[in-house]
Amino acid sequence: MAYALQQLINGVTLGMIYGLIAVGYTMVYGIIGMINFAHGDVFMIGSFLSLIAITGLSALGVTSVPLTLALTLVFAAAFAAIYGWAIERIAYRPLRGSFRLAPLISAIGMSIALQNFAQVAQGARDKNMPSMIPGGMSIFEQDGFVVQLSWMQIVIFVVTLSLLAIFTWLVTKTSLGRAMRACEQDLKMAALLGIDTNRTISLTFVIGAALAAVAGMMFLLYYGSINFYIGFNAGVKAFTAAVLGGVGSLPGAVIGGLAIGLIEAFWSGYGSVQYKDVAAFSVLIIVLIFMPSGLLGRADVEKV
């Protein structure tokens, strides 16, 4: 019981990171119907931006942990948003009217470019950082096994839930959110009704990149080690989460992220760590066999 509870906490923590990344995938797909395969590398760039910010603030003599984290979050999100905007302008907008495979190939090329950029700029070795938020609390004990909830896990819970609440408000209550939902339903009709579709799509990429950067910051603080390749692994997992929850569904992206995180945690705890990815993808295949649209997705309607 105690061990299962510990794995549940670990799985939810990992799942929230995946969920933040998956939201970016599902936002872009919902509006333009294409998958941004460079999104995972924006998450990686966000991790490196966070490391640069933390290192720079430490060199400047900033010792307050809350101030350091707040400034790092703003710095990483702002610069990652610029990357998201550039990806849309370079890899997607010129090819928006082309055949559907062209933007996909362009996004894969952008992903490779970002990986190599990070490798050249930061080196191929892992970058390690000591824990900024050590410690935690014991919440349960059984047969000598103590269930721990770290302060870092609590920070991840609070930050992720706060960001998702803000993003939900933005989508449902603001003019930008209404424009995003209109573009999702019919891009051409939204343009005819006076919505600046190019601006809306660019802002969608910007917001998704900012969320990915926050996820990158949480990943760095939680694991304390990053490299130029983490974007591929996390990106594939987050894409799997988006598909599992239903591509195009924001709640589905979060639920899918939690599902993937829990599958990984419990499989690692009770099975073989080497096969945790196999377990996650196997569950995805089973779900898609019986529910092709995912858990909360809806079937596409062909417009004629």
pLDDT at 303 exceeding the cut of 70: no
* Nearest residue to 168 via CA among 254, 240, 79: 254
Domain count, the chain: 1
pLDDT digits (tens, 9 = 90+) for 92-118: 888 877 777 788 888 889 999 999 999
39 falls within a domain: yes
Q: Is residue 283 situated within a structural domain? A: yes
Q: What is the pLDDT of residues 271-282, one digit of tens each?
A: 877 878 788 778
User: Is there a domain that residue 58 lies in?
Assistant: yes
221 located within any domain = yes
Going by C-alpha positions, the residue among 87, 4, 28 that lies closest to residue 238 is 28
Is residue 204 situated within a structural domain? yes
Alpha-carbon distance of 221 to 248, in angstroms, equals: 29
* Residue-number span of the structural domain to which 243 is assigned: 2-124+138-290
- Interval 113-170: pLDDT, tens: 999 999 999 888 899 988 888 888 888 777 777 888 889 999 999 998 898 888 888 8
For residue 105, give the CATH number of its domain: 1.10.3470
Q: How much is the pLDDT for 299? A: 57
State the Cα–Cα distance between residues 250 and 171, nearest whole angstrom: 10
Strand partners, 150: 136
Asked if residue 297 has pLDDT above 70, the reply is: no
Tell me which amino acid residue 270 is: Y
Domain for residue 301, yes or no? no
pLDDT digits (tens, 9 = 90+) for 16-27: 999 999 988 888
Q: What is the pTM (predicted TM-score) of this model?
A: 0.90
Cα separation, 231 vs 83, in Å, equals 14
Q: Which residues make Cβ contacts (< 8 Å) with residue 16, sequence separation at least 6?
A: 156, 157, 160, 161, 218, 257, 258, 261
Domain-located, residue 302: no
